[in-house]
Amino acid sequence: MEIQMITIENPHQYNFILGQTHFIKSVEDIYEVMICAAPTIKFGLAFCESSGPCLVRSDGNDVELIALAQKNALRLAAGHCFIIFLKDGYPINVLNAIKMVPEVCRIFCASANPCEVIIAHTNQGNGIMGVIDGFSPKGLESDNDVVSRKELLRKFAYKR
């Protein structure tokens, strides 16, 4: 077994969701969930099929985001993984709905941070072992940092 680290290519720092599912039907189901949960969100979805023709299946409503998802799915090449890139919305708007899709097994991360995916490679193929999402903490937040955090949440309309 070889261990590899693959950086998610995300030149515009879009939010993305990386997860694992178990069935080709996931592409259609995740598409429907995205449209129903946040009708104005733009997204691209790619899914790595791990049996039969073993293709990257994709869908979405934004050509740029679909291409970005396809590119990253091909780079990861991990069976049954999926990646969704978003704009005009945030993972928090769709994450619980995606988790409720019967085929979805797990979510590895939902982020706009730089992200490294730890991949195990065997003779059979690739699998995601985990992710490194963003950077390590540099210390504890100060009183000013608390104020800034609360202001940011209000800016995004998540708190009043």
Is residue 14 situated within a structural domain? yes
Return the structure tokens found at 48: 């790595």
- Structural domain that includes position 8: 2-155
Domain-embedded: residue 49: yes
In a domain, 58, yes or no: yes
Q: Of 158, 17, 1, 135, which is closest to residue 87 (Cα–Cα)?
A: 17
Mean pLDDT across the chain: 95
pLDDT at 91: 96
- Give the CATH number for residue 90: 3.40.1520.10
Interatomic CA distance for residues 132 and 73, integer angstroms: 17
Q: Both tokens of residue 97?
A: 């709905």
Domain assignment of residue 74, yes or no: yes
pLDDT level of residue 24 (50, 70, 90 thresholds): confident
Q: Domain for residue 35, yes or no?
A: yes
Give residue 160's pLDDT: 76
Is a pLDDT exceeding 80 seen at residue 23? yes
10 found inside a domain: yes
User: Do 71 and 16 form a contact (C-beta atoms < 8 A)?
Assistant: no
In a domain, 160, yes or no: no
R_g (Cα) of the chain, nearest Å: 17
d(CA 111, CA 109): 6
DSSP letters of 6-24? EEPP-TT--EEEEEEE--T
User: What is the count of structural domains for the chain?
Assistant: 1
Predicted structure pTM score: 0.92
Q: Is the pLDDT of residue 45 over 80?
A: yes
The answer to whether residue 64 is domain-embedded is yes
User: What kind and span of H or E run contains 130?
Assistant: strand 126-133
Q: What is the mean pLDDT of residues 39-51?
A: 95
* Range scoring the smallest mean pLDDT among 25-29, 83-87, 115-119: 25-29
Amino acid identity of residue 31, one-letter, is: Y
